[in-house]
Chain A
Amino acid sequence: MRYEFFEHTADAEFKAYGKSLEEAFENAALAMFSLIVEEGTLAGKETRNISVEGKDSEALLYNFLEELLFLIDSEGFLMKGVIAITIAEGNLQAEVKGDIIDDSIHPHGEVKAVTYNRMKIGKEKDIYHVRVVVDL
C-alpha cells in the first residue's frame, strides 16, 4: 500500500508508506495529488526540479509538499509522479514529472496548504510511514 486516507470532516488526513524515507515522501506527494486530480489523467510531459531545506524530516516533508502546491499556482504545473528523490542532512532534492493544466485536464479539488497538524514520521519493521493533514 502506497498510502491511505483517514476520515476528516473538513480537511484530509493520510498516511504514506515506503521502504525508504524517500519512497514514503514520494507516496505522500502522490496521496496529496490524488486529492487534486484523478489518477491517469496526466501524461507527465514536463519535468521540474525541486530543492528544499529543512531542519528535520518533518520540515523537509512540509517544504517538499508545499513546493508542489506552489508549482500549481505559479505555473499551473500538476505533478504526476516523482522521477528521483534524495534526502540528505537538511536538504531534499527531487525531480518530478507532470503537466501544465489545460482545457483537457479537469482537477477536482484544491489543496490550500500543507500543515504540521498531527504530522508524524516514523519507522516500523523496516517500513517508513509519514502522516500528514492538508487543508482543503
Chain B
Amino acid sequence: MERIDDNTWEVPMEGAMRVPGRIFASENLLELMKKDRTLTQVRNVACLPGIIKASFAMPDAHQGYGFSIGGVAAFDFNEGIVSPGGVGYDINCSVRLIRTDFTVKEVIEKRTEILDAVFKSVPPGVGKKGNSPFGADALPEILEKGSGWIVDQGFGRRSDIDRTEENGCMDADNEAISDKAKKRGASQVGTLGSGNHFFELQAVEKIFDEKIAKTFGFTGPDQAVVMVHCGSRGLGHQVASDYIKQMEQKYGIEGLPDRELIHAPIQSELGQAYFKAMGGAANFGFANKQIITHHIREAFEKILGSSDSMDVVYDVCHNIAKKELHRVDGRSRMVCVHRKGATRSFGPGREEVPSVYRSVGQPVLIPGSMGTASYVLVGTKEAEQKSFGSTAHGAGRVMSRSQAIQTYDGEEVVKDLAKKGIEVKGTSFRGIAEETYQAYKDVDEVVRVSDEVGLGKMVVKLRPIGVIKG
C-alpha cells in the first residue's frame, strides 16, 4: 500500500480491479482495518463494472457485507451498476439532530422524565409496534412521499423537510416494494428499533467554528440538543433481502469476487426497480424519524413547557445510493454514489444543500458510540473532489457483540456511564453490554482524520447526557 499523505493510502490495482482503492485513515485506524476484511472488501468493490476513480474507505471503515461499512463507490449512471450490498440492509439508517434553546441544566433536571416519556411514545427494541396513526393504509403515501406527507398530516414543520437530506423524499415506487416488506413495516412507523439505534439528549461541549455553528443553530456550550439514530426498520431489511435474491436469480453469482457484491446495471429493469424500492425504504426512514420528532417535541412540551425552539438542524443518510452530478477529470458526470456507513459531505454552493446552509456547506452528523461524543461537521469542496462528497458516519465496531457481552456486564456499563453523568435507559442489559463504547473505535480520531483530510471540518462537539438504547 502506498502512502499518499499522512491520512491517505492507495491500494494499487491488481487482478480484476478496475480502479485503485483509496483509504482515508491514520496509522492507528489503518491497523484496525487490517485486522478484518475491510481492505479485501475495498479491493473487491474496485472490480465492479462502471466504478469511477477509486473504491473508497472512510476513516471508520470496518468489515461489512459485500462493501465494507464505511465504503463509498461511484458508478457511471448509464454504464454502471447498483448493488444492494453497497447500501446495506438498513436502508437509510440515518441521523437527525434537533436543536433547542433549553440549557443543559434545565434538561438534566427533567432528564428522567423526558427519557421515560420518549421511551413510551417511541418504543425501542425488537418487534415493538409504533404509536403512530399510520399503518398499512398509509404505507403507499409514506413510501412515495416520505416525511413531507407526515408533515402534511400535522406532524411537524415545513422547515423539518427543508432540513432533511433529499427534502425527506427520494424517487420511489410503491409497486417495487413487496407485500412482505410492507407487512414488516406496517406497524413500525414511529419505532426506534434495536442494535446501535438510539435517542440521545446531548450537551454542546465545544464549538470549533463559531460562525458556522451559529448558522447551524448552535448558541453555546450551555445548549441542549437531541439526536436520533434509526432507519427503515424491517421494511428496509426486507427490500434489501428481496432484491439481493432477485439479482442472484437473474444474474447469477459466478465471477463475483464475493457473493454479496451481487448487482444489476442501474439502467436495467431490475436495477431501476431496486433503486425505486430503495427510495421507498429511504422515505419510510425519513417518515419514521418525522413521527419520532413529533413525539420528542410533545415530550418537551409536556415536561419543559415548550418545543418552539426545537428546529431540526439536519437529517443525514448513512446507508444509501444516490444519483448525483460530480466533476470527474474536469467534466460533469452523472453518477450513482453508494454510501454504506458513510455521510454525504457537500460543501458550499451545491443546490442539494438546504438554502439556509448553502453559503457554508451541509451539516454532517457523526454520532459516537453510547457514552462518547458526537460531532457536527460541515461538508467541503475538498470532499467533493476527494471522495465524491463523502465522509465518515460514526465510530465503527472493533469488538464483536459476543466478545462485548463476555467482557462487560450491562448493569456495570449503566453504572459506569452514570458516573460520567450519562443516564441510560434500555430494553435489556445484554443489549447495553453489546453496545458499550469500548466495543467501538475512538470517534474522536475518526473525526480528526476527516477534518485533517478535509472530508468534513469540525464545527461542534456534543456530549451525551441521556440515552435511550434500542
Contacts and interface: CB of A to CB of B under 8 A. Distances in A.
A101 B128 CA distance: 8
Given A78-B127, A101-B126, 16 more contacts: A5-B402, A8-B400, A10-B400, A37-B126, A38-B428, A70-B234, A70-B238, A73-B183, A73-B234, A77-B127, A106-B125, A108-B434, A109-B430, A116-B244, A135-B65, A136-B195
Contacts of A133: 65
B398 to A, nearest CB: 7
Nearest to B196: A136
Interface string B34-51: 001000000000000000
B193 interface: yes
A133 B64 CA distance: 11
Interface string A88-105: 000000000000010000
B229 to A, nearest CB: 14
Given A70-B180, A106-B125, A107-B125, A9 B188 contact: no
Interface size class of B (residues with CB under 8 A): 35 or more
Interface in B103-152: 125-129
Contact of A7 (B259, B402, B431): B402
A70 B65 CA distance: 21
B240 A113 contact: yes
Nearest to A118: B259
A112 B90 CA distance: 8
B427 A135 contact: no
B431 A73 contact: no
A76 interface: yes
B128 A109 contact: no
Contact of B427 (A7, A69, A107): A107
A110 B89 contact: no
Contacts of A78: 126-127
A72 interface: yes
A38 B63 CA distance: 27
A8 B401 CA distance: 8
A78 B125 CA distance: 13
A73 to B, nearest CB: 3
A109 B63 CA distance: 20
A11 interface: yes
A74 B184 contact: yes
Contact of A110 (B63, B126, B183, B238): B126
A38 B430 CA distance: 9
B401 A12 contact: yes
A73 B237 CA distance: 11
- At the interface, is chain A mostly helix, strand, loop or mixed? loop
Contacts of A76: 127-129
A117 B129 contact: no
A115 interface: yes
A53 interface: no
Nearest to B402: A5
Given A70-B184, A135-B65, A107 B237 contact: no
| Contact residues on A (Cβ < 8 Å of other chain), bracket | 20 to 34
A72 B403 CA distance: 26
A11 B65 contact: yes
A22 interface: no
A113 B241 contact: yes
Nearest to A135: B89
B260 interface: yes
Interface in B241-268: 241, 244, 248, 259-260
A116 B183 contact: no
A136 B194 CA distance: 9
B434 A115 contact: no
Contact of B399 (A9, A74, A77, A106): A9
B241 A109 contact: no
Given A70-B238, A109-B401, A9 B194 contact: no
Interface core residue of A10, A12, A73, A108 (most chain B CB under 10 Å): A73
A117 B401 contact: no
14 contacts: A7-B400, A11-B65, A70-B234, A73-B185, A78-B126, A107-B125, A109-B194, A109-B195, A109-B401, A112-B89, A112-B90, A113-B89, A116-B259, A135-B89
Nearest to B180: A70
Contacts of A66: 241
A36 interface: yes
B295 interface: no
Interface string B48-84: 0000000000000011111001000000000000000
B60 to A, nearest CB: 12
A72 B63 contact: no
Contacts of A60: none
A48 B354 CA distance: 49
Contacts of B127: 72-73, 76-78, 101, 107
Residue among A37, A76, A107 having the largest count of chain B Cβ atoms under 10 Å: A107
A75 to B, nearest CB: 8
A61 interface: no
A114 interface: yes
A47 B193 CA distance: 25
A30 B244 CA distance: 24
Interface string A18-30: 0000000000000
Contact of A109 (B126, B185, B187, B399): B126
Contacts of A38: 428, 430
B374 to A, nearest CB: 20
